């Protein structure tokens, strides 16, 4: 039986682990490698590493950092941050990523998504849809700094038909606040595409995961919740399993 | 005696996890091989794969590795294909019409159809339904989930070649094949945590025997 | 990658939880500047009011708990409370690799005239946790960080003494449960966020490394019910008194505290971090991960207080910060990691795992460049314009 995934997210500024709040991520909170090792110890389903300063600084996430995280894991790793060319994409895969998350570059040029899917396979291409706020008709690019007049549903449709294999749905207004996820948008986006949707941003307790999955998400992701509250990926899986969700039970 | 394992490098994907997983089994000497001139007659060849069927077959050809694989298999030694590598073992794929596969397992490759509440690409953990040949790989008989990330799946001509299936929505696809000395796994054992590492140990034991 | 350094002190922005303003001044410098505007008399009154609220005039219980390591700060914490005529119960959570001078300083605190409890967690378990901390999160002192919070709080619950007096609150820009805002207690959430746990938790060990739940009792926080029943809360002296490490060292020395005979390895002073031989390793890993070590922290403190110019600080750091910890307080590295079951070579391999290579000089092949003593060199020790 196919299982839903619970995915911890690590945010970095290129040097350290940072905490995000509404896409502002100045607060350094530790070492990326240390955090990756802890999650590996906890036998998570998958891990996501996003460099939130890369686009702003005009660079791509450093392969050395990707490798240092990939070397800790025997589960899949999705990586994003400033990937703007096919060379960036390839370098990120070669450094150890299994899937590459495209943000700004995909929104600005959906053909890049197609080119990446053709060269590396759709299953390696994840596109981030950063909804600005609940009910907003707009998304954001450049780590939440620039508004684009396009609804999350429209963007999701466009990149899915361009070849994205997975959509990472985030919410700028709910990011890092532990207050719950944007369920109507999750439902709308999940209903608009036929590729898996990973719902992220806003989860603060296990019940939020359940809600997101009930609204059509294939997987759920969280950053702040796993690093700054007592809750753990295992606790999430146990909770979801008890509520009848198909979830992987780690050994 | 250490098992000599060579992992074929087609220049696209990262092989570190696979090599690390194989090394952790113990009693194994693992190296990567990027062209025919680097191949040294290993006991076991591993064909990984990320990306598109046509591009991967193209890389195999241009690096002279198709020959290497065919000679290796013909001499009775073990070959393991993982993910796209499993699909390359067949004759052809819907993904790249006109491109010929290795033809080591009579099969075609078709796009997954999303029925019920599943989506394509198939991304995530799933359990396996072992067929009779799976008895040679004890890990496949235990309730582990394995990680899948693919949009296509192999359709073998010969039912006897099916090693394991995977339930996907209202149907099931073939998630593993075994034909003589050729093994194919659609999921990623090196990305499937402890269960995956144990399966790699089974595969190494199988290659030894 | 070039680190961005505060334009006033020398802290880099890779330091966890350190915010820089638009002018490049770090939050610690800003907070220090704001001290001038604080009405310290009023704060002292608040402090006294809280202490009096918890003071036990009858029943022969203690008025408060003071967690003490024996160091300059905890010595001063005790001196201050004794000045107020308070009867504290001093609690030492025994450190990982106690030094002779550390032991002497703990004895010195007792001789100031206080009741004292030392809780020594099982050293065999402790060494396992040191090793796990080192290997998994690059922090040999992980069990120490946990224990210095959990053990005194457990004692508070056990002895029924609700008020804990901590020293400086390095997190005071975010607040934390404080007796002044009396409704908050030192709950697990606070500990997770501010306890510097690097994400690894006690529950990870019981679930994944086969250490029994019972063995982890000293590192386990009391239940929410117990905390509420006793009404456990804490305050940070640094909130009520302008805190200065060097002043504390002088006060402590005048009351029998011992310092080291030379500048301590990896540091630039001789009067702190005297109690645990493993501290050198802990500080070295900070350097590897974030690009700054103990000398940077201390130099920044003194620049803020006008005792060093920034230029002098940059010079000192360039020469002293982040040296490979061959010894600490004279004890050789092999003797420090040996009891954990590690050789020096194994230790070096762990160092490499956590080194943020983008911060250091590498050769053309991307390998870290080390000098003859094994020291790394940062790409920049000051802002690069």
> Do the two chains B and C touch, given a threshold of 8 Å on CB pairs and at least 3 pairs?
no
| φ, ψ for residue C46, nearest 5 deg | -55, -45
Which ipTM did the prediction report? 0.88
Interface of A with C in 42-81 (CB under 8 A): 42-43, 62, 64-65, 68
- A15 to C207: CB separation less than 8 angstroms, yes or no: no
- C192 to A229: CB separation less than 8 angstroms, yes or no: yes
Region of poorest pLDDT, from B74-78, C335-339, C363-367? C363-367
Cβ burial of B89 (10 Å; 0-12, 13-18, 19+) is: buried
- Residues of chain C with pLDDT > 90: what percent? 64
Q: Does residue C285 surpass a pLDDT of 90?
A: yes
Q: Mean pLDDT across the stretch C152-165? A: 93
Q: At the topology level of CATH, where does C39-240 sit?
A: Rossmann fold (3.40.50)
- Residues of chain A with pLDDT > 70: what percent? 99
The tally of domains found in chain A comes to 1
Any chains having at least 3 CB pairs less than 8 A from chain A are: B, C
- For residues C196 and A61, the model is more confident at A61
Most B CBs within 10 A among A99, A123, A221, hence the mutation to make, goes to A123
- Cβ neighbours around A78 below 10 Å, total: 24
> Do the two chains A and C touch, given a threshold of 8 Å on CB pairs and at least 3 pairs?
yes
A163 reaches B (C-beta below 8 A): no
pLDDT digits (tens, 9 = 90+) for A225-238: 887 777 888 889 99
Q: Mean pLDDT across the stretch B142-168? A: 95
- Domain ranges in chain C are 39-240, 260-355
Q: Does residue C81 surpass a pLDDT of 80?
A: yes
Q: What is the pLDDT of residue A243?
A: 95
- A232 to C192: CB separation less than 8 angstroms, yes or no: no
Confirm whether B94 is a catalytic residue.
Answer: no
- Residue A166's domain comprises 5-242
Q: What is the pLDDT of residue C289?
A: 94
Q: Does residue C181 surpass a pLDDT of 50?
A: no
- Residues of chain B with pLDDT > 70: what percent? 100
Q: Mean pLDDT across the stretch C146-168? A: 91
- A218 to B123: CB separation less than 8 angstroms, yes or no: yes
> What totals of helices (H) and strands (E) does chain A contain, helices first?
10, 12
CA distance C143 to chain A (A): 15
- A5 to B127: CB separation less than 8 angstroms, yes or no: no
User: What's B129's domain CATH number?
Assistant: 3.40.50.880
Q: Does residue C377 surpass a pLDDT of 60?
A: yes
Taking CB atoms and an 8 Å cutoff, what residues of chain A touch B34?
A: none
| φ, ψ for residue B153, nearest 5 deg | -145, 150
CA distance A28 to chain C (A): 4
For A128: left if phi > 0, alpha if psi spans -120 to 50, otherwise beta; the answer is: beta
Taking CB atoms and an 8 Å cutoff, what residues of chain B touch A90?
A: 12
- A74 to B190: CB separation less than 8 angstroms, yes or no: yes
Taking CB atoms and an 8 Å cutoff, what residues of chain A touch C209?
A: 41
- Cβ neighbours around C356 below 10 Å, total: 23
pLDDT digits (tens, 9 = 90+) for C300-313: 999 999 999 999 99
Q: Does residue C182 surpass a pLDDT of 80?
A: no
Q: What is the pLDDT of residue C55?
A: 84
**Out of B83, B95, B150, B166, which one is annotated catalytic?**
B83
Chain B residue whose CA is closest to A216: B117
Per-residue confidence band for C178, with pLDDT thresholds at 50, 70 and 90: very low
Most A CBs within 10 A among C25, C199, C209, C358, hence the mutation to make, goes to C199
How many degrees, rounded to 5, is the angle at CA C209 between CA C203 and CA C215? 65
- A38 to C136: CB separation less than 8 angstroms, yes or no: yes
Q: Does residue A7 surpass a pLDDT of 80?
A: yes
CA distance A7 to chain B (A): 11
User: What's the Rg (C-alpha) of chain C?
Assistant: 21
A241 reaches B (C-beta below 8 A): no
Domain-located, residue A120: yes
The answer to whether the beta carbons of residues A225 and A250 sit under 8 Å apart is: no
- Residue B146's domain comprises 3-208
pLDDT digits (tens, 9 = 90+) for C186-240: 555 555 555 545 567 777 787 667 788 889 999 988 888 898 898 888 888 888 8
Taking CB atoms and an 8 Å cutoff, what residues of chain A touch C187?
A: none
Q: What is the pLDDT of residue C240?
A: 87
Q: What is the pLDDT of residue C176?
A: 36
Q: What is the pLDDT of residue A224?
A: 86
Q: Does residue C58 surpass a pLDDT of 80?
A: no
Instruction: Name the range with the highest mean pLDDT among A131-135, C190-194, C274-278.
Output: C274-278
The tally of domains found in chain B comes to 1
Q: What is the pLDDT of residue C184?
A: 40
Q: Mean pLDDT across the stretch C262-277? A: 94
CA–CA dist A170, B100 (Å, integer): 41
Taking CB atoms and an 8 Å cutoff, what residues of chain A touch B147?
A: 46, 75-76
Chain A residue whose CA is closest to B16: A96
CA–CA dist C385, C382 (Å, integer): 9
Confirm whether B190 is a catalytic residue.
Answer: yes
Provide the β-strand partners of residue B150: B122
Q: What is the DSSP letter of C360?
A: B
pLDDT digits (tens, 9 = 90+) for A79-125: 999 999 999 999 999 899 999 999 999 999 999 999 999 888 888 99
What are the structure tokens assigned to C303, written together? 């620049």
């Amino acid at each position: 039986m196919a299982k839903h995934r619970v995915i911890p997210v690590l945010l970095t500024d290129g040097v350290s682990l940072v905490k995000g709040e509404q896409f502002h991520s100045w607060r350094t909170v530790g070492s990326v490698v240390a955090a990756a090792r802890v999650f590996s110890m906890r036998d998570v389903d998958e891990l996501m590493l996003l460099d939130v300063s890369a686009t702003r600084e005009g660079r791509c996430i450093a392969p050395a950092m990707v490798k240092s995280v990939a070397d800790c894991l025997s589960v899949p790793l999705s990586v994003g941050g400033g990937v703007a060319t096919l060379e960036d994409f390839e370098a990120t895969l070669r450094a150890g990523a299994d899937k590459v998350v495209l943000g700004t570059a995909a929104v600005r040029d959906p053909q890049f998504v197609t080119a990446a899917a053709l060269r590396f396979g759709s299953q390696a291409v994840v596109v981030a849809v950063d909804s600005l706020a609940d009910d907003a008709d707009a998304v954001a690019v450049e780590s939440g700094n620039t508004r684009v007049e396009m609804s999350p549903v429209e963007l999701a449709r466009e990149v899915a038909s361009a070849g994205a294999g997975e959509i990472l749905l985030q919410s700028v207004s709910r990011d890092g606040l532990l207050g719950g996820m944007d369920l109507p948008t999750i439902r709308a986006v999940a209903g608009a595409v036929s590729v898996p949707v990973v719902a992220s941003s806003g989860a603060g307790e296990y019940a939020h995961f359940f809600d997101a999955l009930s609204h059509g998400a294939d997987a759920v992701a969280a950053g702040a919740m796993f690093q700054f509250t007592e809750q753990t990926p295992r606790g999430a899986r146990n909770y979801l399993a008890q509520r009848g969700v198909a979830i992987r039970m780690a050994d | 005696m250490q098992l000599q394992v060579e992992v074929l490098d087609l220049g696209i994907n990262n092989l570190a996890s696979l090599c690390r997983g194989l090394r952790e089994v113990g009693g194994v000497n693992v190296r990567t091989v990027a062209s025919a001139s680097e191949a040294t007659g290993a006991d076991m060849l591993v064909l990984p794969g990320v990306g598109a069927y046509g591009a991967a077959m193209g890389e195999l050809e241009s690096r002279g590795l198709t020959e290497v694989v065919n000679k290796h298999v013909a001499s009775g030694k073990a070959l393991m294909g993982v993910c796209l590598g499993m699909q390359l073992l067949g004759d052809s794929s819907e993904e790249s019409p006109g491109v010929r596969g290795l033809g080591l397992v009579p099969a075609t490759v078709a796009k997954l159809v999303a029925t019920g509440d599943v989506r394509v690409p198939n991304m995530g953990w799933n359990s396996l339904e072992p067929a009779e040949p799976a008895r040679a790989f004890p890990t496949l008989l235990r309730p582990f989930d394995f990680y899948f990330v693919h949009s296509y799946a192999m359709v073998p001509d010969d039912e006897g070649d099916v090693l394991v299936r995977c339930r996907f929505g209202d149907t099931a696809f073939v998630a593993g094949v075994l034909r003589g000395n050729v093994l194919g796994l659609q999921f990623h054992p090196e990305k499937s945590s402890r269960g995956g590492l144990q399966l790699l140990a089974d595969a190494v034991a199988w290659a030894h025997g | 990658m070039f680190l961005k350094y505060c334009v006033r002190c020398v802290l880099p922005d890779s330091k966890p939880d350190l915010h820089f303003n638009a002018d490049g001044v770090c939050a610690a410098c800003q907070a220090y500047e704001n001290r001038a505007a604080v009405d310290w008399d009023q704060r002292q009154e608040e402090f006294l009011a809280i202490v009096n609220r918890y003071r036990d005039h009858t029943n022969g219980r203690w008025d408060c708990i003071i967690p003490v390591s024996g160091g300059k700060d905890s010595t001063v914490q005790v001196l201050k409370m004794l000045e107020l005529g308070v009867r504290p119960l001093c609690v030492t959570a025994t450190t990982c690799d106690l030094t002779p001078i550390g032991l002497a300083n703990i004895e010195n605190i007792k001789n100031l005239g206080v009741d004292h409890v030392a809780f020594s967690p099982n050293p065999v378990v402790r060494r396992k946790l040191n090793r796990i901390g080192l290997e998994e999160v690059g922090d040999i002192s992980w069990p120490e960080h946990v224990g210095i919070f959990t053990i005194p709080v457990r004692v508070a619950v056990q002895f029924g003494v609700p008020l804990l007096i901590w020293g400086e609150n390095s997190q005071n820009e975010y607040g934390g449960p404080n007796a002044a805002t009396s409704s908050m207690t030192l709950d697990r959430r606070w500990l997770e966020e501010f306890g510097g746990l690097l994400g690894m938790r006690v529950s990870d060990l019981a679930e994944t490394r086969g250490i029994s739940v019972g063995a982890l009792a000293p590192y386990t926080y009391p239940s929410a019910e117990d905390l509420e029943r006793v009404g456990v809360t804490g305050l940070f002296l640094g909130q009520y008194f302008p805190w200065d490490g060097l002043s504390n060292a002088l006060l402590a020395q005048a009351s029998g505290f011992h310092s080291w005979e030379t500048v301590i390895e990896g540091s630039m002073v001789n009067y702190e971090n005297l109690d645990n031989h493993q501290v050198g390793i802990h500080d070295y890993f900070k350097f590897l991960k974030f690009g700054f070590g103990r000398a940077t922290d201390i130099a920044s403190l003194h620049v803020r207080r006008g005792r060093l110019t920034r230029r002098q600080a940059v010079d000192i750091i360039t020469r002293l910060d982040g040296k490979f910890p061959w010894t600490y307080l004279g004890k050789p590295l092999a003797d420090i990691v040996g009891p954990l079951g590690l050789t020096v070579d194994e230790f070096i391999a762990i160092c490499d795992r956590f080194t943020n290579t983008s911060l250091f000089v590498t050769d053309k092949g991307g390998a870290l460049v080390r000098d003859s003593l094994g020291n790394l060199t940062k790409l920049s020790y000051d802002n690069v314009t």
